[in-house]
Amino acid sequence: MGLSDGLTDYGDKGFARFLRTAFASSMGYSEAMLDRPIVGITWTASDFNNCHRLAPSLVEAVKRGVLANGALPMVFPTASLGESFLTPTSMYFRNLAAMETEELVRGQPMDAVVLIGGCDKTLPAQLMAALSVDKPAIALPVGPMSTGSFEGEALGACTDCRRYWAQYRAGDVDEDRLTSVRRNLAATAGTCPVMGTASTMAALIETIGLSLPGAATVPAVHADRLRIAELTGTVAARLAVDGTPRPTELVTERALDNAVRMLLALGGSTNAVVHLAAIAGRAGLRLDMQRFNELSDDTPVLVNLKPSGSHYMQDLHEAGGIVQVLRQLDGRCDLSAPTVWGGTLRDGIDAAGDWCNDAVIASPERPVDPNGGLVALFGSLAPDGALLKRSAASPELFEKTSRAVVFDSLADMAARIDDPDLDVTEDDALVLQNAGPKAAGMPEAGYLPIPGKLARRGVTDMLRISDARMSGTAYGTIVLHVAPEAAVGGPLGLVRTGDRIRISVRDRTLDLLVSPAELAERENAARGRTPNEFQSRRSGYAQLYQSHVTQAPEGCDFDVCAVERS
């Protein structure tokens, strides 16, 4: 425990502790402090991450809680993944952040760790790391930003940024007005104030019991965020002494079911499915997409938030937060599940009281939507599955056979999507190939823009299909995560412009209506395709990534990181 944990190997443990405490003493710690159990605290502030701008103040608040409860806080830097600042995509770096965090938690002396994160891939990476180390851990999200305002309308990144960008592409908004909108989209520090990936993952982590009640929804700039941080330090100090619960004691089959229920009730981010699959793999579990569909059929959308509804995260917090959503899910979620703070999910509900704003958090009897927010599709185009966020899609496109208009890469799409001579109508299906994990790092390119000439005619949605992801803040009838991806020989790579594709959300199917003989001929012609620039990278991490990254159903984690639970 404490500084005696995991001593550096000099072949002499006594000397190793002597040397370690000598260097620790140089930082001004008293002998009494050096004898305390240690709580590590991740430092994820970065000039490349506006979401984490207030993380330093959270660190100080956590330290207060740790010190007041008899432990020694030790802050250490880890990767900070700012969504819009990383190329080719933040998803490419999630596993790197998980590896770094895992090894620093494992390699440095700490009895428990506080994981401060938020911006989309950071929290999933931290939880993946915590499960692999399996040392007591508690998450502290940085919190959602508050909304801005433009011409009397509340604005929040990035659902509203996509809406205004679509209007700009359609010619309905000029440059000056777009600039005014841009200055008000991200008004404060914090994560996107809609039910995007950051908010969704914070909610799921609270549901799993790895953060405190309220931690998912308290605004980043609210004083309660600091109070939660201090209480997080208090809990972490107790974890450092007790050594339990460990993350694998909390991430169980029932906790995974609870998380999926919450995801569906929120109409949450499609990215969360990939992250939950990776988290499950680290815990020796599997996210079964057939089970996912079963839960989707029995879990209505209860939360009226953008992009599936009309409100923002601060409204969800004021309406009662995740605790009140769990209250509405009583009978569907297992509320006897334990938490890192010591009680059960039901204990958190009982402590919160029963007031709830039903304009934001609906009851199961009067839901926002009677069907779960997401659904998995299977068929000849997606043998291993694909995903649709139906709560943010157009129901009139759910049962449809469309002609495919194919883009064979991100570059091809960028070059041709606004070509006035592009052969496309609003009844077609836009298909993007080679944007999956192996081909491109699986960027948020699945939100294919409406072709320019259609956007200018007022078309706002059409069927779009790819092996990419999309931002949790996006909306539209968009089929994502098609697996296997095109680059590893999935049927998606065999689609040609003019082919017919049939989607049935009712039947959970996605089929390519091309004969097996024709597909076999195309497959033979495609063999030996030259890898693209992304696939050809051979530096250290790039080589590791290409050699070991899995497909979307396995969470796009590295195959060497998933474990078998005995």
Average pLDDT over residues 121-150: 96
Residue 337 has a pLDDT of 97
Say if residue 564's pLDDT is above 80. no
Q: What three-state secondary structure class fits 36?
A: coil
Query: Position of tokens 């940085």?
Result: 142
* CATH assignment of 36-146+188-352, among 3.40.50.720, 3.40.50.2300, 3.40.50.2000, 1.20.120.1770: 3.40.50.2300
What are the tokens at 510?
Answer: 């996605």
Rounded to whole angstroms, what are the CA distances from 444 to 28, 64, 127, 237?
47, 38, 21, 38
Q: What is the pLDDT of residue 271?
A: 95
pLDDT at 445: 94
Q: Beta strands 72-77 and 38-43: pairing type?
A: parallel
pLDDT on residue 565: 62
Confidence of residue 563 (pLDDT cuts 50, 70, 90): confident
Q: Say which residue, 156 or 23, is predicted with more confidence.
A: 23
Sign of CA dihedral 507, 513, 517, 523: negative
Question: DSSP per residue over 131-179, as a string?
Answer: HHHT--EEEEE--BPPPEEETTEEE-TTHHHHHHHHHHHTTSS-HHHHH
Does 387 or 152 have the greater pLDDT score? 387
Task: Specify the pLDDT at position 473.
Answer: 81
Q: How far apart are CA 452 and CA 458, in angstroms?
A: 10
* 375-529 has the same fold as 36-146+188-352: no
SS3 call for 38: strand
User: Once rounded to an integer, what is the mean pLDDT over residues 354-362?
Assistant: 95
CATH number of 375-529: 3.50.30.80
Which of 190, 237, 43 is closest to 126 using CA atoms? Answer: 43
Q: How would residue 290 be classed by pLDDT, with cut points 50, 70 and 90? A: very high
Q: Which has the minimum average pLDDT: 140-144, 158-162, 261-265, 352-356?
A: 158-162
Tracing tokens 């891939």 back to the chain, one arrives at 121
pLDDT band for 163, please (50, 70, 90 cuts). Answer: confident
- Considering the chain, what percentage of its residues have pLDDT values greater than 90? 88
pLDDT given at position 492:
98
Token pair of 341 as six digits: 């703070």
pLDDT given at position 162: 84
Closest to 260 measured CA to CA, from 216, 220, 294: 294
Query: What pLDDT is recorded for position 161?
Result: 86
The whole-number pLDDT of residue 528 equals 75
Contact 233, 63 (CB under 8 A): yes
Q: How confident is the model at residue 510 (pLDDT cuts 50, 70, 90)?
A: very high
User: Percent of the chain beyond pLDDT 70?
Assistant: 100
What's the CA gap between 510 and 495, in Å, rounded?
13
**What tens digit of pLDDT does each residue of 169-180 get?**
889 999 999 998
pLDDT of residue 157: 82
Q: What is the pLDDT of residues 76-90, one digit of tens each?
A: 999 999 999 999 999
Average pLDDT, integer, range 300-305: 96
Nearest-angstrom CA–CA distance, 97 and 95 = 5
Contacts of 396 (CB under 8 A, 6+ apart): none
Between residues 198 and 149, which one has the greater pLDDT? Answer: 198
Minimum mean pLDDT range among 2-6, 217-221, 477-481: 2-6
Contact, 284 vs 563, CB < 8 A? yes
Is the predicted pLDDT of residue 566 greater than 60, yes or no? Answer: no
How does pLDDT run across 413-457, given as a tens digit for each residue? 999 999 999 999 999 999 999 999 999 999 999 999 999 999 999
Mean pLDDT of 312-316: 96
Instruction: Give the pLDDT confidence score for residue 519 in this predicted structure.
Output: 95
Residue-range domain boundaries for the chain = 36-146+188-352, 148-185, 375-529
Count of CA atoms in the C-beta half-sphere (13 A) of 133: 27
